[in-house]
Amino acid sequence: MDRNSVGIVTPQKFTFGSLEDPMVLESGRTLGPVEIVYETYGQPNADRSNAILICHALSGNHHAAGYHDPHDPQTGWWDTMIGPGKAFDTNRYWMICANIIGGCKGSTGPVSIDPATGKPYGLTFPIVTIGDMVEAQKRLIDHLGITRLYSIAGGSMGGFQVLEWALRYPQMVRSAMCIASAARLSAQAIAFNSVGRSAITRDPEWREGAYDGKGPEHGLATARMVGHITYLSEMLLDTKFGRRLQSANRLSYNFTTEFAIEGYLDHKGSAFTQRFDANSYLYITKAMDYFDISRSYGPLKEAFVSVTARCLFVSYSSDWLFPTSQTKEMVRALLSNGKPVSFIEIDSPYGHDAFLVEVEKLSRIVSGFLSGVPQEVAA
């Protein structure tokens, strides 16, 4: 076990709301009771002012660091960033990461039991938005006795949540780190999400969302394959796979999986079905499609007037899903309001996935930013 790991961690649960006193969603529908599964790393200081909220991306969850048992082969999804002496230094900060509502890793979502029927929600689960996810996180943060977050950080869809926090609860966010994200999805990104959802809903095993057991594995695998392509850069694909064949350099002249890139995507799709729920994929991608700061808060320049957090924006040179141009749009809007903001584009061949796989540069940036927060933002 990594000596700089947070070690063994145990997920915790927080429940709020009820059938009689539910959470009211942006759609007008209600949800209750709501259960949130979360993990914490490090220790709170006396006034809990060292709390940092970590927000996960589409396929992530609350398990951001450490292990669940001594024989666990898989660490948390951002273990390289969270721990003693790491970018998110657990000797200094108290880290919190919660599974979003609508997810499938313990927080209330379509796989959860509907208390009104005693059966899984399935498609009777209401549509949730990024704002609803943040509202649920706010209930958890209140429950933990945190009045103001030292910082909040997230990449991709996690960045959506960071932005929503900074706009919805400006006085509760001291600093914010939005990584490989944007103020809204592009039409191209929405198109890819649509293809993924279509692959799931056209799988005969989907059964209008009321599947039992394995469900629409082929559809979910295809959705993941499509999505995964958007996380990688053309440069990385060419370097890692090119036109290499899986076996001998000989064409089979049939429709079997021949190219190395095909085998890689097949593996990614198949592995994903073992850890994710198809209905959750539908709900989460729809929430991402709906996220649009301008629609909710007005043009960016006007929307960011209320932001009080010291902000850090990070983009990656080869990320075509959330390109640097989208990040700069937000940075310019904050600067036009005289807001304290830092921006850096990291040169990387890894595409959108760079914030997860190439952490050395990001670690230095995050460490420096967090150390500067006390001097740059009034308490």
**55-70 pLDDT per residue, tens:** 999 999 999 999 999 8
Residue 180, sorted as left (phi over 0), alpha (psi -120 to 50) or beta, turns out to be left
DSSP label at residue 118: T
Catalytic hit among 56, 62, 218, 352: 352
The pLDDT-based confidence of 214 (bands split at 50, 70, 90) is confident
319 catalytic residue (yes or no): yes
233 catalytic? Reply is no
pLDDT, averaged across the chain: 95
* Three-state secondary-structure class, residue 289: helix
pLDDT category of residue 379 using cuts at 50, 70 and 90: very low
Cβ–Cβ under 8 Å, residues 29 and 124: no
Q: What is the pLDDT of residue 1?
A: 56
Which of 79, 132, 319, 353 is catalytic? The answer is 319
Start-end of H helices in 40-169:
130-143, 157-168
What pLDDT, on a 0 to 100 scale, did the predictor assign at position 337?
97
> Can you give the pLDDT at residue 378?
45
Which pLDDT belongs to residue 244?
A: 87
* HEC secondary structure over the chain: CCCCCCCECCCEEEEECCCCCCEECCCCCEECCEEEEEEEECCCCCCCCCEEEEECCCCCCCCCCCECCCCCCCCCCCCCCEECCCCEECCCCEEEEECCCCCCCCCCCCCCEECCCCEECHHHCCCCCHHHHHHHHHHHHHHCCCCCECEEEEECHHHHHHHHHHHHCHHHECEEEEECCCCECCHHHHHHHHHHHHHHHCCHHHHHHCCCCCCCHHHHHHHHHHHHHHHCCHHHHHHHCCCCECCCCCCCCCCCCCEHHHHHHHHHHHHHHCCCCHHHHHHHHHHHHHCEHHHHHCCHHHHHHHCCCEEEEEEECCCCCCCHHHHHHHHHHHHHCCCCEEEEEECCCCHHHHHHHCCHHHHHHHHHHHHHHHHHCCC
| Residue range(s) occupied by CATH 3.40.50.1820 in the chain | 12-188+291-376
**Cβ atoms of 134 and 168 closer than 8 Å:** yes
Query: Do the beta carbons of residue 205 and residue 219 sit within 8 Å?
Result: yes
CB atoms within 10 A of CB 326: 19
Residues 136 and 33: their CA atoms lie apart, in Å, by: 11
What is the pLDDT, as a whole number, of residue 252? 82
- 377 has pLDDT over 60: no
CATH architecture, domain 12-188+291-376:
3-Layer(aba) Sandwich (3.40)
* pLDDT given at position 375: 56
Assess whether pLDDT exceeds 80 at residue 2. no
| pLDDT higher than 80, residue 374 | no
Per-residue pLDDT, averaged over 345-365, amounts to 95
156 is annotated as an active-site residue:
yes
The predicted-structure confidence for 243-263, as pLDDT tens digits, reads as follows 888 877 778 888 888 889 999
- What is the pTM assigned to this prediction? 0.96
- What is the structure's pLDDT at 246? 83
Mean pLDDT, residues 33-50 taken together:
97
Q: Where in the chain is the domain with CATH 1.10.1740.110?
A: 190-285
* Catalytic member of 156, 175, 280, 315: 156
CATH, range 190-285: 1.10.1740.110
Which pLDDT score is estimated for 11? 97
Q: Tell me the pLDDT tens digit for each residue of 113-164.
A: 999 999 999 999 999 999 999 999 999 999 999 999 999 999 999 999 999 9
